[in-house]
A and B are shown apart, each in its own frame.
Chain A
C-alpha cells in the first residue's frame, strides 16, 4: 500500500480477480467483435466486476446492472483499449466508476462530510454471529464508507486515485477509511466476541 494509513489490514490485501491476465489472442478476437471472445472475458472478469459492485452497492440486482452496463460498454469500446495498462486494471477502473456513478444516481452520496456520514449511522451493535461475518459487518457501513473500504482494502486504490474518483481531496477518503475501519475493528474486538476470545 502506497499511502500508509491507519488500517489494521493495510498490508494484507484480499485478492482481487482483476489481477488475472487476458491473452492477446482473446483480446484481438474481442476487438474484432467475436462474441465467443467476449464470453471468455466475461467468464474471467464477470465475477470480479460483480463482487466489486455488490460489495459497494449491497444489492445483487444493482450489481448485475453494473456488470451488464460494463460489458455492453466494453463490447462497444474495446477498440479504444490501447493496452497501456493491464486489461484487468482498465476493467476495474470502469467498474469502480460505474459503481460510484450508481451510488450518486441513487443519492447515496448526499452527505459529503465524513463526520455527518458516521454520526447519522447507528453504532455497530453486532451479535456474535455477525462479528464473525465480514460481509454482515461491511453491510452495516454507509455505502460511501463501504466504497472506500472496498476500493482501498480489496482493490488496492490509493487515496490519490480515490480523490480523483470521488472528486474530493485525499484527506476525505483517508478520514472515511480510518473511521470505517475503527468501527469495524471495535466491533470485532468487543469483549465476548469470537475473535477476542480466540485471541485470549
Chain B
C-alpha cells in the first residue's frame, strides 16, 4: 500500500454517519404490518375459496345413491361390450329404437333434476336393452360360425 499524495481526494476522510436510531423500529414495524397483511390476505383468500367450494357443493346435483352409481357403471360396461361386438360384426338397427327412447327419457329425468326413484329404473331399463343387443350379436356370431363349420 502506498502513501496518499497530499494533494489527493481521500475517500477515507469521508465521515461515517449513523442512521436515525428509530430506523430499526420503523423497519420492524413495517415488516410486522406486511406479515399481518399477508396473513390476513391468506385467510381472506381461504375464506373466499371455502365459500365458493361450499356454494358449488350445495348447487351441484346430489351424488347418486349406490344403486344409481352401480346401474350407471354397469350400463357403461355393457355399452362398451356392445360397441366392441358391433365394430366386428354386421351393422344392425334391431333394438336401437328402444335404447334411444330410454336415453331420451334419462336425459329428460336429469334435466328435471329427477331423484333416484326416477333415474335408477331408467338405468336398469337401459341395461336390459343393452343386454338384449349383446345377446343378439352373440347369437348371430354363433349361427355364422356353425354355418362355416357345415360348409
Contacts and interface: CB of A to CB of B under 8 A. Distances in A.
Given A55-B14, A188-B7, A188-B8, A12 B19 contact: no
Interface in A164-200: 181, 184-185, 187-189, 193, 195-196, 198-199
Interface in B1-44: 1-2, 4-20, 23-24, 26-28, 30-31, 34
Given A12-B2, A55-B14, A67-B27, A46 B19 contact: yes
Contact of B14 (A71, A135, A196): A135
A38 B23 contact: no
Interface residues of A, number: 44
Given A42-B27, A51-B17, A193-B7, 12 more contacts: A12-B12, A38-B31, A39-B28, A46-B23, A54-B17, A63-B19, A72-B34, A137-B9, A154-B14, A185-B7, A195-B6, A195-B7
Interface of A: 8-9, 11-15, 35, 38-39, 42, 46-47, 50-51, 54-55, 60, 63-64, 67-68, 71-72, 75, 134-135, 137-138, 149-150, 153-154, 181, 184-185, 187-189, 193, 195-196, 198-199
